[in-house]
A and B are shown apart, each in its own frame.
Chain A
Amino acid sequence: MTFLLRAHEVTKRFPGVLALDRVSFELRSGEVHALVGENGAGKSTLVNIFAGSLRPDGGTIELEGRPVQIRSPHHAQELGIRAVFQQLSLVPALTVAENIFLGRELTAPGLLRKPAMRARSLAQLGIFDAGIAPTARVRDLTVPQRYLVEIAKATLERPKVLILDEPTASLTDRETSVLFRLVRELRAQGVGIIWITHRLEELYEIADRVTVMRDGRHVATLSAQETTTDRLITLMTGREYEQIYPMLQPVPPDAPTVLEVQGLCSVHGLRNISLTLRTGEILGVGGLIGSGKGLLGRALVGLEPLTAGEIRIGGETVRADHLSPHAMLRRGVMYFPADRRGEGLLTNRSVLENMTIAALERFERLAGLLDKGKERRAVVEYIRRLAIVPPNPAARVRNLSGGNQQKVALARGLIRDTQVFIMDEPTQGIDVGAKIAIYELLHELARQGAAVLFITSDMLELLHVCHRVAVMFQGELVATVPHEEASEERLLQYFFGHMREEGGQTSVDAA
């Protein structure tokens, strides 16, 4: 049979990395084909080749049985291949309709047919029922709304192939179900859909087949109905479940509280948050995108303007007007932002400079001169302990892999003797080997008496790496669940606000 889109033994090399190693992939028309794998498995590279952003170094691509060379994103669109990536391609200053028709405006000899474009945009958006006006400016829309506009743009002229890169990552429950409906409709019309996702649970609902990739190779293609989450994880990581998550050591019962937060409210939507963190404890913070879990981390180091609340470190209150990264560092609290390259690291500086930048006073001798020998020895020691590759203090951080970059960021906290690690999505975008290293390191830190606030979108991390799990919903902390009682079902109930905990009691929300 002929396939709609077929990649045969496609190879793609980047400097120093074999991103795709003779990968074959087949998409039928009228199917939703999920593509799963760890970060760095090659999913993005493969779909970028389909979308014309990358050229393969070897192998062939066939569209409807004919070999094609996809030369550019524009060419891919002409061929009927549309892709929606997480990095949206919308122009914030233009209206929704202008964005949808960008580059293919309807014209009557030379002039724009604005009413016609608005009308068609309205019809196109109507499917979503999300209250998006064609005349609204994209910059005024919420993130999920923008995503829907992007999808409307991609499906304006029915494509042959639609590539969706983690489509549900930024959507709420309601928008997700709207998207599912649209995708089923497109499938019924014969569109082939490639669905990249990290959320394995949604596969059973939407996908027909699943292809698993690992380390740039095709591992397996399975029927979505016949597979299980456990099997997929084993295929994706090449390891059994238990090998990934280290054994959780219990927190000693007499461990003192190191961080205490009471009634924290912020300008951008944190509402009355109270929590405690004990030495030796890893407290997971979960919740949907927009639940405020990221804001919480920022608020604790003064990056988010507060309107009320109190923060105590080791029993000592930190005055709200003194709250800053600097003040919290002095008290042994370090914040690790989710956007490592944008906010966390000095990407064009060396590993050495990145590791010691927050602790230079430790390496000062008389007259403020740096003891570079001592500094280098400390850095070499941490490079060895964290197994950072390349093991070279002078390597520029931007040339390191995501996992090694995260290790460098962590080392910055270690060199300072940090007591409380506030980590926002520390394992995002890093491979499974580095993830395991980070889990082990966090556990070791906890055993040595440090405390970790572990903000993550990864359900499995919440379930397996944390002593307790705090769940955020719409800016509130709705529940704190001990490790023993945490289950996926229960956490999801809190995630979506179906349930909340009042004074230790769990109640089902009337709404």
Chain B
Amino acid sequence: MSTPRELTTRRFAAVGRLPFLRGMLDQLGLLPVLLIALLIFFSVASPNFFTRANLSTILTQALFLIIVSVAQTLVLLTGGFDLSMGSSIALVSIVVGLQLLDHPDTPTTGLALATLVAIAVATGIGALNGLFVSLFRVPPFIVTLAMMTAVSGLALHVSRGVPIFGLPNYFSSTLYTGKLLGIPVPWLVTILVLLAMYVVLHWTRFGRYWYAIGSNAEAARLSGIAVRFYLFLAYTIAGVLVGITGLLLTARVGSGEPTLGASFPLESIAAAVLGGVSIRGGEGNLFGAALGAVFLVMLRNGMDIMGISTYTQMIITGGLLVLAVIIDNWVHRER
């Protein structure tokens, strides 16, 4: 067997220059550049934007979207997506609210039970999505759209359409304003989620298999991967993350809200795709998605400060999603 020819070795060695910049552009696309441009634009446009308080607000608001975008990324990597994440958060909020009303004076039990039901409900919904997608081969669009409608109906039915007020004080003071090791709890949870999912995606076979399935499901099957099982798992684990978000978001608003998180499905897809996750699967990573989430929240915040109406903002966000998909098509087209 011949050895690699020296000529070609030399040619490809040249590619190693500027590895950091190349790697970042390949992994995250143009997003960091856009983010900085946006930062400069709003800073110039309004003196109230580039302040310590406002930047901290942006990041705190972004945490929830970051976790959902990471969940969405898991599913997107396998070549699917999940539209039911928003109504799943709403149902979690209602169930958590009802649970907490039963435990007004016992913080430990109350928090433990709230966490448990939050994760159980959202994981169950995720698992159901996964089951329909993997076992019955229903397209993810149909499955999760139907699930979105059904779960939303369930949340409204259980709550009779009204928010659940009067949650015990310990709930928000622990899970929203509380600190652990000097770090606010929502921050801590987000960091842990990012770390854990990074390890799963890049240091275990689970992540490899998800990428493989999204890249070419048939090739994955021929490589001996239990494709259906791992598909199921992706939706289920995404459900766990959605449950965590539902819990934290309920603590933030301080009541059980039957319409909480309605904008999350679309925003999380937009964030992930802006961050370089391919809508066709098998490409992208969670830090890109997280950065995409920060970008969207910063955009919203900046537009708020500039006095742009919510309706206009909706138009811009929608347009941005289409633009992100067009860019995705352009970047990932087969040559």
Instruction: List residues of chain A with CB under 8 Å of any chain B CB.
Output: 15, 301, 325-326, 329-330, 335, 337, 342-349, 353, 356-358, 360-361, 364, 368-370, 372, 383-392, 398-399, 412, 437, 440-441, 444
Contact = CB atoms under 8 A, between A and B. Distances in A.
Contacts of B209: 357, 360
A189 to B, nearest CB: 40
Given A370-B204, A389-B4, A389-B5, A346 B212 contact: yes
Contacts of A301: 222
A398 B219 CA distance: 14
A390 B222 CA distance: 25
Contacts of A412: 223
A380 to B, nearest CB: 11
A301 B283 CA distance: 29
Interface string B209-221: 1011001101111
B2 A387 contact: yes
Contacts of B335: 15, 398-399
A345 B212 CA distance: 9
A384 B225 CA distance: 27
B222 A335 contact: yes
Nearest to A409: B219
B224 A325 contact: yes
B223 A343 contact: no
A441 B208 CA distance: 28
Contacts of B203: 369-370, 372
Contact of A348 (B204, B208, B226, B282): B282
A109 B150 CA distance: 53
Given A353-B211, A369-B204, A412-B223, A345 B216 contact: yes
Most buried by A among B208, B278, B335: B208
B4 A391 contact: yes
**Which 6 A-B residue pairs are closest in the complex by CB-CB distance?**
A329-B224, A346-B215, A358-B223, A360-B205, A390-B12, A326-B224
B312 interface: no
A383 to B, nearest CB: 8
Contacts of A386: 1
Contacts of A389: 4-5, 8
Most buried by B among A335, A353, A444: A353
Contacts of B11: 390
B199 interface: yes
A299 to B, nearest CB: 14
B199 A369 contact: yes
Contact of B216 (A15, A343, A392): A343
B218 A349 contact: no
A369 B332 CA distance: 29
A344 B218 CA distance: 7
Bin chain B's interface residue count.
35 or more
Interface in B57-110: none
B203 to A, nearest CB: 5
Given A344-B222, A348-B283, A353 B212 contact: yes
Contacts of A343: 216, 218-219, 222
B3 interface: yes
21 contacts: A329-B224, A343-B216, A343-B218, A346-B212, A346-B216, A349-B212, A353-B208, A357-B212, A357-B225, A358-B223, A358-B224, A370-B205, A372-B203, A383-B4, A384-B4, A387-B1, A387-B2, A387-B4, A391-B4, A398-B335, A399-B335
Nearest to B15: A392
Given A343-B216, A348-B332, A440-B1, A368 B204 contact: yes
B216 A330 contact: no
B204 A391 contact: no
B2 A345 contact: no
Contacts of B4: 383-384, 387-389, 391
Given A346-B220, A353-B208, A358-B224, A392 B12 contact: yes
B223 A357 contact: yes
B205 A361 contact: yes
A353 B282 CA distance: 12
Given A344-B222, A390-B8, 11 more contacts: A343-B218, A343-B222, A348-B215, A361-B205, A369-B203, A370-B203, A384-B4, A387-B1, A389-B4, A391-B9, A398-B335
A440 B2 CA distance: 11
Contacts of B211: 346, 349, 353
Nearest to B222: A325
Interface in B1-23: 1-5, 8-9, 11-12, 15
A495 B4 CA distance: 40
A323 B21 CA distance: 47
A150 B106 CA distance: 78
A387 B5 CA distance: 8
B205 A364 contact: yes
A325 to B, nearest CB: 5
A390 B5 CA distance: 10
